[in-house]
Structures are given as C-alpha cells and as structure tokens.
Amino acid sequence: MGKPKRRANPKVVSRVDKNLEELTAKEAKKFVRKLSPPWEENKRGRRPTHDSRTVFILCLLMVSLNLTYDKMESEIRKGHLQRILEVKTLPGHSVLNRGMLRLNQKYVRKFNKLLVRKFLKKGVTIIVDSTGIRLKTSSSWYDIRIGRKNKRKDNAKFHIAIEISRNTIVGYKITSWKRSDSVQLKFLLTNVDEVLRVLADAGYLSRENCNVVAKKNGKPYFRIQERTTAKAKGSASWKKMVNFAQKRKELYDQILGLRSVIESIMSAIKRRYGNSVRAIKRKTRNISIALRVLAFNIKQTLYDKTAKRLGLPFWVKYD
C-alpha cells in the first residue's frame, strides 16, 4: 500500500500539542454553545449543581487526555479548567461517570457534523475502513484472586470515513466484531452530500455500494478481486469501475494507494487514546470510543486554524 507522502506541518503541530488541553476545552466550549444541551435535566427534585454542557466538555477532555476518572478529578482540582470553562465549581468523578451514561450517540454525531462541516466541500475524497478496539470487560486482579485463566478477548468494530483535505473523520459507527464492513458504507456517508470518489478495500466491494457512491455524484474505487466481473446487474457505476480497474490497473492501484492515509489515522488514534476501552456497560464503552472521534477532529481543526493564523501550509512532505 505504501506510506503517506505528507504529514501535518511540525511547526503547527508543536504549537497546538504543547497547549492541547486548554485549546481543546476552548474549542469544545465554542461548539457546544451552538447545540442544545446534551441531555434534559429532571424536572423533579433538586436542581443539578453542574450544567450538562460543562460535564460533556470534561468527559471529552478526559477521553482526549486518555485519563481515568480519578486522574481526571485530580486534573480538575488544579483549578485551570474552572477558569477556562468560566464556572464557579467543577464536578467530581462520580458526576463524570453519570454524564458518560447520559450521553448518547445522537448528540455526539450532531457535534461532529458541526465540527467537520467546513471541510465537507463539493468534490471531496472519502476513504472508509474499520479497525478493532479491544474491550477490557473483566478484572485481571479478580481472575488471579479466584484462580481463573481468562482467555476471552472481546472487541468492538470501529468503522470510520475520513476526508483527506484535513484527515477529519466525517462519519463513524461502532458495531460488534461480527458485523460486515460492506453494509456500513451508506451510514458512514450520511453527512456527505457530494463526493469526488470513495476509496475502500475489498470488504466494501458490492454493486449496492457502487450505487450509493454514484448517488452522491462520486466514483467508487474498491479493491477488485480476481473473480470480479464487469457485469452491471443494475449498477452502471460497478461496470465502469471494474472496466477501469482492469484496463488501467496501474493507475487504479495508484489511486487506491491513498488508502494508506486512513491506516495512519487509525494508528494515530490508538497511539493517542489507547487501543482498548475499559468499561463494563456497552453504552459507556461506545460513548468513550465516539468521544475519541470528537477529540481527534478537534485536534485537526486546531491544526487547521493555527496554520491559517501563522500563514503556514497545513501539509508538508516527509523528509
């Protein structure tokens, strides 16, 4: 597949990363004000001490910094987040835990749509793929205590679609590891109105997916298998794709080589936020994975803004 030939400008990256916590909090606060509250407060009983938007931002920061609840509470006690978020008091770890349970994927997707909207211009190139996220659903210490050899390995499947102008994640879905990649494409492209092309491996190879891309005025570029034929069977875009792949194989493979970008993004997400999620409840696990999408996209947005402010190119070639 090859290696990416470009990377984010190191001068931009260093300026953002050295102050990432404060910049992420400010950016999240700006976008969260444009949306309705993450959840509705109970009308009965005592009024909540902490605003749901503040709790959401802290949950996002906890995932962004790859901290546990206890370590996040220690970070809150330092006082600087209270000044950034402009609140009198900040919640503890128990409130954050309840906040993670009350968050839903609908709100996260609304936030993400607002976040990446400016990058979804006409003629964008989209790459889709999936990766596994390990789920640590049992305690190693408890296994040792009761003398159990636990060989169980649970995984969630993390499907993403990225646009390559700024490598932002424009769509995501979290499923069981048993679910097929192919049927997820339509959902992943929900936020995209028009595309130039969509790149994917053989797992997405189907006439239905070709039609999905064609409806968005784009061209599909899926990895062709040896037994693939050019029979249309109701999909003209399928026939054009297969004929082009067979007649111009070298050029077709060169275009597909852009898929290395999404591999790099998946690797970056796992390195920064961890390759596993430790949570017992499935909803909390999925929200934790979804918040990684927001954290990553906020970071890319900050890189873009910093590059424009400094008058520097966003991308530079590898040395």
Give me the CATH number covering residue 132.
Answer: 3.30.420
Q: Is residue 273 situated within a structural domain?
A: no
Task: Clarify whether residues 144 and 209 are in a common domain.
Answer: yes
Q: Does 319 map to a domain? A: no
Residues 55 and 97 in one domain: yes
| 302, 220: one domain | no
Q: State residue 179's pLDDT score.
A: 87
DSSP SS3 for 316? strand
Question: 272 in a domain, yes or no?
Answer: no
Question: Residues 6 or more apart from 200 whose CB is under 8 A from it?
Answer: 127, 128, 129, 181, 185, 209, 220, 221, 222, 223, 259
30: containing domain: 8-40+50-111+278-312
3-state secondary structure of 85: helix
Task: Scan for tokens 């909207």, then name that residue.
Answer: 117
What's the length of the chain? 319
Residues 215 and 296 in one domain: no
Asked if 175 and 218 sit in the same domain, the reply is yes
In a domain, 269, yes or no: no
300 and 236 both lie in a single domain: no
Whether residue 151 is found in the same domain as residue 287:
no
Q: The whole model's pTM is what?
A: 0.91
Q: Within a domain: residue 1?
A: no
Is there a contact between 59 and 99 (Cβ–Cβ < 8 Å)?
yes
The pLDDT value recorded for residue 1 is 45
Angstrom distance (rounded) from CA 275 to CA 285: 12
Same structural domain for residues 200 and 282?
A: no
Question: Phi then psi for 93, rounded to 5 degrees?
Answer: -70, -30
Q: Domain count for the chain, please give it.
A: 2
Residue 317 forms part of a structural domain: no
Residues 132 and 163 in one domain: yes
2 in any annotated domain: no
Asked if residue 124 and residue 230 are part of one domain, the reply reads yes
Q: Say yes or no: 291 and 225 in one domain.
A: no
Q: Divide the 319 residues of the chain into consecutive groups of 10 and give the mean pLDDT of each group.
A: 73 94 95 92 73 94 93 91 91 92 95 93 91 75 63 79 95 90 94 94 94 95 90 92 94 92 92 86 92 97 95 88
Predicted local distance difference test score (pLDDT) of residue 5: 75
- Give all strands (DSSP E) within the chain, no chain letters: 6-8, 124-135, 154-163, 168-176, 195-200, 219-222, 276-277, 315-317
Q: Is 142 inside a domain boundary?
A: yes
The verdict on 100 and 124 lying in the same domain is no
